Amino acid sequence: PAGFVQLVGAGPGAADLLTLRALRALGEADVIVHDRLVPDAVLEMARRDARRIFVGKRRSEHCVPQEGINTLLVELAREGKRVVRLKGGDPFVFGRGGEEAAALREAGIAHEVVPGVTAALGCAAQAGIPLTHRDAARMLTLVTGHTREGVLDLDFRALARPGQTLCVYMGMSTLGALHQGMIWEGYDDATPGMLIERGGTPDQRELRGTLAELVEHGEDWAGDGPVLLILGEAVGMAPLPLVPQSAAKAVVGTPDPV
Amino acid sequence: PAGFVQLVGAGPGAADLLTLRALRALGEADVIVHDRLVPDAVLEMARRDARRIFVGKRRSEHCVPQEGINTLLVELAREGKRVVRLKGGDPFVFGRGGEEAAALREAGIAHEVVPGVTAALGCAAQAGIPLTHRDAARMLTLVTGHTREGVLDLDFRALARPGQTLCVYMGMSTLGALHQGMIWEGYDDATPGMLIERGGTPDQRELRGTLAELVEHGEDWAGDGPVLLILGEAVGMAPLPLVPQSAAKAVVGTPDPV
């Protein structure tokens, strides 16, 4: 039979934030090609006898280069396999799904993309941050904190403009560089923000404070999970954690009462 | 029993793009409060005997004002009901979920937010548009084309900056104003774009062209479904429709071969 590849968004990490379409794809696939951001709880929803291939990327060590993943997907499809390429969040939001789709198209392999709940939405829902708000945030901007040849290559002039909620994926290791770029463009580093680790999963941890406070305390607070930064007036609309603060919800500095 | 409200994202419109968590919420709710963007296929996944309350908003006529929806949710919860407030896409992305969550919090009603696949992601997956791409789009920006007191009140200076993919929700009726605002800030209206109607559903229709071409031909093309506009170099990476073009996938002008 002809092979078929589905690029599937696994959502932010909780197994029940998979879509029904993604669940069905997992149940039908012969092979699951996945990376580090996909938790075991999601992988367990695949067919028991499906082959699992880990092609995870860590921050600095690329286990399998992107070229290799593209080739793997094409080869598996040519063997007639039904393949799910499972990616954390959504395949077309910082997932390099576009490169995989292009490779499949060039090779003439039938494929489709199954969208997923991207991390920013999963984090915000759980933390109670309205990403858009008629009064405070009429624009929602997503960027990645990954560097490009060692440089955090972002358009800080655009990101520093008011009236937006900014979500920085994988933003922990470059938080200092982001802060510098933003204040250079006139951004107020007293803007409320939140660092969210393992967002959208049962293990979500939150650190809330101004951008300046998060830069000061974030490194000590962070564990080894992926971290998303949300910045903007909308963060100030999230409910404050109860006192005493839990390990999961912490505030640095003194938040303004809303 | 104490009432409980879930603000649930229904996803872009296809029933199988619901999350498992949203499906469970629908199966457990006594009352479903929904608006126009939630299709029947999704509503049918609720308990048969659940009460359905339509509080839809149309572009210019607000059937039930937001204040009234907030009060309704609080009252139903105080009657001890388990309530699902079902919203197209994600509750915190142009869904006014923040206002509903604030009203519930002020009233002391237990509630949670269930994220969903927002329209931009559903549309892009189906149209094959990689919303981010290492080379062409390092930033993804979401705005709404709704007017505020009759004016399209957007930060065109930020939106016109290069290197981003721009998604405009409900952007059809204000497409002309968007075009004017963007070119005033120096945006190239030969930038590739796509209008997507009923995106993320089996009835998705697409019109592809430059921004200038979409402004010229969009009005004639559009039906009566909600329309999302995606703009940016990433749109040029989507596969071109086959020739002859179908009613679902059309191109105006002459797209550059990729």
- Residue A57 known to be catalytic: yes
Q: Could you say which of B87, B114, B141 is where a domain stops? A: B114
Tell me the residue length of chain B. 258
For residue A157, give the chain B residue with the closest CA.
Answer: B158
What radius of gyration, in Å, describes the C-alpha atoms of chain A? Answer: 19
**B21 backbone dihedrals φ, ψ, rounded to 5°:** -65, -40
Q: Could you say which of A67, A82, A114 is where a domain stops? A: A114
pLDDT of B258: 46
CB nearest to A142's CB, from B90, B129, B140: B140
Q: Could you say which of B114, B142, B163 is where a domain stops? A: B114
Does any domain span residue B257?
no
Does any domain span residue A46?
yes
Do B156 and B221 belong to one domain?
A: yes
Does any domain span residue B147?
yes
Q: Which two tokens stand for residue A77?
A: 């499809």
For residue B157, give the chain A residue with the closest CA.
Answer: A158
* B128 with A101: Cβ contact below 8 A: yes
Does any domain span residue B35?
yes
Give how far the C-alpha of residue A71 lies from the chain's centroid of Cα atoms, to the nearest Å: 24
Do B194 and B163 belong to one domain?
A: yes
* B132 with A92: Cβ contact below 8 A: yes
Do A123 and A201 belong to one domain?
A: yes
Do B61 and B76 belong to one domain?
A: yes
Q: pTM, whole model, 2 decimals?
A: 0.95
The catalytic residue among B35, B81, B90, B249 is B35
Spatial separation of the C-alpha atoms in residues B136 and B151, rounded to whole Å = 31
Full domain range(s) for residue B52? 4-114
Q: Which chain B residues have a beta carbon less than 8 Å from that of A144?
A: 132, 138
Neighbours of A161 (CB within 10 A): 19
Q: Is B16 helix (H, G, I), strand (E, B) or coil?
A: helix
Indicate the number of domains in chain B.
2
Task: Report the CATH number at residue B177.
Answer: 3.30.950.10
Does any domain span residue A258?
no
CB nearest to B130's CB, from A101, A237, A239: A101
Does any domain span residue A16?
yes
Do A125 and A247 belong to one domain?
A: yes
For residue B126, give the chain A residue with the closest CA.
Answer: A113
Do A30 and A125 belong to one domain?
A: no
Q: What is the mean pLDDT of each run of 10 residues along chain A (258 residues)?
A: 94 95 97 90 93 77 79 97 97 95 96 98 97 93 91 94 96 95 97 96 94 97 95 94 83 69
Neighbours of B210 (CB within 10 A): 22
- Residue B188 known to be catalytic: no
CB nearest to A94's CB, from B21, B125, B132: B132
Do B84 and B185 belong to one domain?
A: no
pLDDT in tens, B54-94: 997 655 555 578 899 999 999 999 999 999 999 999 999 99
ipTM of the complex: 0.95
* A132 with B161: Cβ contact below 8 A: no
pLDDT of A257: 52
Q: Which chain A residues have a beta carbon less than 8 Å from that of B115?
A: 12, 17, 117, 121-122, 124-125, 200
Task: Report the CATH number at residue A34.
Answer: 3.40.1010.10
Q: Which chain B residues have a beta carbon less than 8 Å from that of A57?
A: none
Does any domain span residue A256?
no
Question: Which band of pLDDT confidence, cut at 50, 70 and 90, is reported for residue B181?
Answer: very high
Do A75 and A166 belong to one domain?
A: no
* B131 with A15: Cβ contact below 8 A: no
Q: Which chain B residues have a beta carbon less than 8 Å from that of A124?
A: 92, 113, 115
B58 DSSP assignment: -
Do B14 and B107 belong to one domain?
A: yes
pLDDT in tens, B27-59: 999 999 998 888 888 999 999 999 999 997 655
Do B18 and B127 belong to one domain?
A: no
Does any domain span residue A257?
no
Do B18 and B126 belong to one domain?
A: no
Do B239 and B160 belong to one domain?
A: yes
